């Protein structure tokens, strides 16, 4: 494109942009007149008014007067009222409004009240019959019941159609009632179908209003045009309620001509002068006539619908000329104006004069710069969005997304209940990983407290920067936790792989770790023996579940009090599966690089590199003596020879000096049998020979035996009898 062409384009676009901002354009619109606003409302010589009601053709005032399309459309005008009232000929229903598709009639109410005289029936029902006409009750009506001990019923039992609907309104005191609410407390509403021609309304009480008579002696049911009745609490005790409904809340009737559709009547003579036939849409059939677009008037009377002169309504914008045509109009610009005609708007822009060339050149430069900035910003946003998408895809692969897909394909239910979070969701939940949200830090990463949009409090684990050699540990934790559903194991809610470091989202466990609870004396919460024993049993229960109850046995490999969390009821939950391993059912151990926490590490595993289920048992034994002594596994306040809590504990057991190492809070009076039984169990868990340690299910059974005050030696004496130990005897309390 040449420079001169660009100049000419901008020359016109600049004033166009300015004109748009000041409203020089007008949307293309047209208006439509209703039946009662048309000039030809009735047949010649026929009255158009009955009191305050306008009666348009095909309806007509008078019986057999020839003013209506047929007798069904006759309107009886009763002048004995002041002002006169209009009634349908067929059934005497009072008409209060007529439009192109609906008739609004005065309502009727069924009611029932408490009577002190059992022989006196203080109730009333109603029925309305439109059968034999082309009228039907509209589905814009709602079955409405008002009361505190009432059921309203509407039925339409006819040979051709049997319909029944009910609605119950109850309450026990006026304080239960809410203005504007009609959901069952003091008021209820239900829909009705289209096409009903006969209805019978009845009112029944549930308990005779005996319990609510002081504030609700009566109940009411009626059909109400949608959105015309608004419930108010005083309605349940309003003696004039019936009059209020009949005067202010109409009932709607659909009307149509005959019972045949437009396709059946063909080019009907009833629709005249630029009008079209439209089906009524009810099951009883029938049709109506509508004016075509751009026309107005009464489509049933000659000359029918006439053209709307849109130019009288200022359809065109300023500076434009309006040209009316049949059924439409056209806007054009006079000489000296540029025409801007789009699909939804039209405008006339004054053409510039030569002496204003400098002004428009400046506008051209400004507009060109503006357009350049807009295009540049748009390209920047597009490229940035594409770059972020590519980065997220790369991070997904780097953080083990492909490995996770492989794990999913090899496990049937890995991600059945897990959510894949976006980084935006987790940044919002943790206030962009604010330091004030940090719950704890460890070897595997940092844990933040967060809140999801639904108000759920969660713990978000942000792993440390990892390379491809460590991705297996993260994916391993996702796979293991997604398969575990146990009340004493922290539940995994989801993960995110779109960040520099992978993220895991867990359920939030509010009372911190067992390590902090044991070794922080400032909590002020009493650490009773029963609580310690219950926590020990719950941890053993969780480990036994991992070892024996999962589809593939899982070894935790980092069992320690830091990885045991306490919920709001101080129930123990096992967490941090970053270095856990799944093993085949027939596999007794696996060999790997030694990992774990000093002080909890199995000496046999440390020496051989072979991790077995008994290695988790050893670490659990360390947690047991933490609970007994309230001392840290590795102490910095004693000599090198006495730094190990395990060493000091076993030495006191050999010297029969257990009392010297136990938590003084436990032995305020003296040692008891339970203390000694748990200490002996811990000693067996800490045996340097892994084969001589009990299995975790044996530990679980012995702890349950101690908790229920049974003989602890019962399990110990049967350790060698493998046939006695059955998985059914363990209560794993699996949630699911």
Kindly report, residue by residue over 376-402, the tens digit of the pLDDT: 999 988 888 888 777 777 677 766 666
Q: What pLDDT does residue 556 have? A: 85
Query: Which residues constitute the domain of residue 117?
Result: 107-249
For residue 493, what is the domain's CATH number? 3.30.200.20
Count structural domains, the chain.
Answer: 4
Which has the minimum average pLDDT: 216-230, 440-454, 654-668, 676-690? 440-454
- Same structural domain for residues 498 and 525? no
Whether 148 and 112 have beta carbons less than 8 Å apart is answered as no
Q: Which structure tokens are listed for 685?
A: 């868990």
- Same structural domain for residues 523 and 666? yes
* Boundary-marking domain end, from 481, 507, 533: 507
Q: Is the pTM of this model over 0.75?
A: no
**Highest-confidence segment of 120-124, 126-130, 577-581, 726-730:** 126-130
Q: What pLDDT does residue 725 have? A: 28
For residue 636, what is the domain's CATH number? 1.10.510.10
Q: What pLDDT does residue 651 have? A: 94
Kindly report, residue by residue over 536-569, the tens digit of the pLDDT: 999 999 999 988 887 778 888 889 999 999 999 9
Is 303 a domain residue? no
Measured distance CA(552)–CA(107) in Å, rounded: 71
Kindly report, residue by residue over 250-280, the tens digit of the pLDDT: 999 999 999 888 988 887 778 988 899 999 8
Q: What pLDDT does residue 79 have? A: 94
Closest by CA to 219, choosing from 200, 232, 238, is 238
State yes or no: cis peptide before 256, omega within 30 of 0: no
Is 385 a domain residue? no
Pairing of strands 554-555, 581-582: antiparallel
Is 567 a domain residue? yes
Averaged pLDDT for residues 431-441: 90
SS3 209: coil
With 70 as the cut, is the pLDDT of residue 477 above it? no
With 70 as the cut, is the pLDDT of residue 465 above it? no
With 50 as the cut, is the pLDDT of residue 20 above it? no
- Same structural domain for residues 82 and 205? no
With 70 as the cut, is the pLDDT of residue 724 above it? no
- Same structural domain for residues 485 and 624? no
Which has the minimum average pLDDT: 182-191, 193-202, 400-409, 647-656? 400-409
- Same structural domain for residues 73 and 155? no
CB burial of residue 312 (10 Å; 0-12, 13-18, 19+): exposed
* Boundary-marking domain end, from 478, 507, 536: 507
Cite the active site residues: 558
More confident site: 32 or 195:
195
φ and ψ at residue 292, rounded to 5 degrees: -65, 165
Is 481 a domain residue? yes
Question: Burial code of 475-511, b = ≥16 C-beta within 10 A, e = fewer?
Answer: bbbbbbbbbbbbbbbbbbbbbbbbbebbbbbbbbbeb
Q: How confident is the model at residue 358 (pLDDT cuts 50, 70, 90)?
A: low
With 70 as the cut, is the pLDDT of residue 207 above it? yes
Q: How confident is the model at residue 666 (pLDDT cuts 50, 70, 90)?
A: confident
Q: Which structure tokens are listed for 379?
A: 């390209």
Element (H, E) at 707: helix 696-707
Sheet with 198-205: list strands edge to edge.
126-129, 198-205, 149-157, 162-170
State yes or no: cis peptide before 303, omega within 30 of 0: yes
**Highest-confidence segment of 58-67, 328-337, 633-642:** 58-67
Averaged pLDDT for residues 684-694: 94
- Same structural domain for residues 539 and 652? yes
Q: How confident is the model at residue 51 (pLDDT cuts 50, 70, 90)?
A: very high
Q: Which structure tokens are listed for 359?
A: 């002004």
Q: How confident is the model at residue 702 (pLDDT cuts 50, 70, 90)?
A: very high
- Same structural domain for residues 49 and 142? no
Averaged pLDDT for residues 209-221: 92
Q: Which structure tokens are listed for 349?
A: 């822009």
- Same structural domain for residues 637 and 523? yes
31, 294, 472, 547 from 590: Cα distances, Å: 83, 85, 16, 14
- Same structural domain for residues 487 and 535? no
Q: How confident is the model at residue 534 (pLDDT cuts 50, 70, 90)?
A: very high
Closest by CA to 88, choosing from 210, 217, 226, 197, is 197
Q: What pLDDT does residue 12 have? A: 44
Whether 575 and 461 have beta carbons less than 8 Å apart is answered as no
With 90 as the cut, is the pLDDT of residue 410 above it? no
Is 478 a domain residue? yes
With 80 as the cut, is the pLDDT of residue 586 above it? no
With 70 as the cut, is the pLDDT of residue 588 above it? no
- Same structural domain for residues 135 and 234? yes
* Boundary-marking domain end, from 458, 489, 507: 507
To the nearest 10 degrees (0 to 180), the angle between helices 401-410 and 471-483 is 40
- Same structural domain for residues 613 and 695? yes
Is 365 a domain residue? no
With 50 as the cut, is the pLDDT of residue 723 above it? no
With 80 as the cut, is the pLDDT of residue 580 above it? no
Q: What residues does 451 pair with on adjacent strands?
A: 457
Measured distance CA(103)–CA(88) in Å, rounded: 10
With 50 as the cut, is the pLDDT of residue 715 above it? no
Q: How confident is the model at residue 370 (pLDDT cuts 50, 70, 90)?
A: very high
Kindly report, residue by residue over 64-82, the tens digit of the pLDDT: 889 999 999 999 999 999 9
**Highest-confidence segment of 115-124, 231-240, 400-409:** 231-240
φ and ψ at residue 27, rounded to 5 degrees: -70, 150
Q: What pLDDT does residue 713 have? A: 42
Measured distance CA(359)–CA(536) in Å, rounded: 87
More confident site: 455 or 727:
455
Is 197 a domain residue? yes
Q: What pLDDT does residue 649 have? A: 95
Pairing of strands 419-420, 492-496: parallel
Which has the minimum average pLDDT: 135-139, 370-374, 376-380, 707-711? 707-711
Is 358 a domain residue? no
Q: What pLDDT does residue 141 have? A: 96
With 80 as the cut, is the pLDDT of residue 694 above it? yes
With 60 as the cut, is the pLDDT of residue 11 above it? no
Which has the minimum average pLDDT: 360-364, 528-532, 573-577, 615-619? 360-364
Looking at every residue in the chain, the average pLDDT score rounds to 82
- Same structural domain for residues 615 and 661? yes
Q: Cα 248 vs. chain centroid, distance in angstroms?
A: 38
């Amino acid at each position: 494109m040449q420079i001169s062409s660009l100049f000419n384009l901008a020359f016109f676009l600049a004033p166009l942009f300015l004109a748009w901002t000041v409203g020089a354009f007008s949307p293309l619109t047209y208006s439509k007149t209703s039946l009662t606003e048309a000039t030809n409302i009735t047949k010649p010589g026929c009255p158009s008014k009955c009191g305050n009601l306008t009666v348009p053709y095909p309806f007509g005032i008078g019986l057999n007067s020839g003013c209506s399309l047929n007798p069904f459309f006759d309107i009886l005008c009763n002048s004995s009222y002041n002002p006169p009232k209009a009634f349908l000929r067929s059934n005497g229903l009072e008409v209060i409004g007529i439009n192109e598709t609906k008739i609004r009639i005065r309502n009727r109410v069924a009611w029932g009240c408490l009577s002190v005289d059992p022989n006196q029936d203080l109730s009333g029902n109603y029925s309305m019959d439109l059968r034999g006409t082309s009228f039907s009750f509209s589905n814009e009506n709602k079955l409405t019941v008002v009361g505190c001990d009432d059921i309203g019923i509407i039925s339409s039992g006819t040979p051709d159609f049997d319909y029944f609907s009910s609605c119950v309104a109850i309450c026990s005191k006026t304080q239960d009632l809410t203005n504007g609410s009609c959901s069952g407390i003091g008021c209820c509403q239900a829909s009705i179908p289209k096409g009903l021609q006969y209805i019978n309304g009845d009112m029944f009480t549930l308990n005779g209003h005996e319990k609510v008579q002081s504030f609700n002696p009566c109940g009411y049911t009626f059909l109400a045009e949608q959105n015309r009745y608004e419930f108010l609490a005083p309605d349940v005790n309003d003696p004039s309620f019936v009059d209020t409904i009949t005067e202010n809340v109409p009932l709607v009737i659909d009307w149509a001509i005959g019972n045949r559709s437009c396709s059946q009547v063909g080019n009907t003579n009833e629709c005249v002068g630029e009008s079209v036939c439209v089906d009524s849409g009810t099951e009883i059939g029938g049709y109506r006539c509508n004016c075509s677009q751009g026309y107005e008037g009464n489509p049933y009377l000659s000359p029918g619908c006439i053209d709307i002169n849109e130019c009288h309504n200022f359809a065109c914008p300023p500076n434009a000329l309006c040209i009316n045509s049949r059924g439409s109009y056209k806007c054009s610009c006079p000489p000296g104006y540029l025409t801007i005609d789009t699909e939804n708007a039209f405008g006339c822009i004054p053409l510039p004069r030569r002496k204003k060339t400098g002004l428009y050149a400046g506008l051209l430069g400004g507009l060109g710069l503006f357009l350049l900035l807009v295009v540049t910003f748009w390209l920047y946003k597009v490229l940035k969005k594409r770059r972020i998408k590519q980065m997220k895809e790369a991070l997904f692969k780097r953080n083990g997304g492909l490995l996770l897909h492989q794990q999913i394909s090899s496990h049937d239910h890995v991600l059945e209940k897990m959510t894949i979070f976006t980084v935006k969701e987790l940044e919002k939940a943790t206030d962009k990983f604010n330091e004030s949200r940090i719950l704890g830090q460890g070897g595997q990463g940092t844990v933040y407290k967060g809140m999801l949009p639904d108000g759920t409090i969660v713990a978000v684990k942000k792993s440390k920067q990892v390379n491809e050699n460590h991705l297996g540990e993260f994916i391993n934790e996702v796979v293991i936790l997604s398969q575990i559903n146990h009340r004493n194991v922290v539940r995994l809610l989801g993960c995110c792989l779109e960040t520099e470091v992978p993220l895991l989202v867990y359920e939030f466990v509010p009372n911190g770790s067992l390590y902090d609870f044991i070794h922080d004396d400032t909590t002020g919460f009493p650490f009773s023996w029963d609580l310690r024993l219950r926590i020990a049993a719950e941890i053993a229960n969780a480990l036994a579940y991992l070892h024996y109850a999962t589809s593939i046995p899982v070894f935790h490999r980092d069992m320690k009090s830091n990885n045991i969390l306490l919920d709001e009821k101080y129930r123990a939950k096992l967490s941090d599966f970053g270095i856990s391993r799944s093993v085949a059912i027939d596999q007794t151990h696996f060999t790997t690089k030694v990992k774990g926490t000093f002080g909890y590490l199995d000496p046999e595993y440390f020496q051989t590199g072979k991790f077995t289920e008994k290695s988790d048992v050893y670490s659990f034994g360390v947690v047991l003596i933490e609970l007994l002594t309230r001392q840290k596994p590795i102490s910095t306040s004693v000599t090198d020879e006495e730094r190990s809590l395990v060493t000091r504990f076993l030495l006191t057991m050999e010297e029969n000096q257990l009392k010297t190492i136990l938590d003084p809070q436990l032995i305020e009076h003296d040692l008891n049998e339970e203390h000694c039984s748990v200490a002996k169990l811990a000693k067996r868990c800490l045996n340097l020979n892994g084969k001589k340690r009990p299995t975790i299910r044996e530990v679980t059974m012995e702890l349950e035996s101690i908790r229920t005050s049974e003989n602890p030696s019962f399990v110990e004496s049967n350790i060698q009898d493998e046939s006695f130990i059955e998985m059914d005897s363990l209560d794993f309390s699996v949630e699911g």
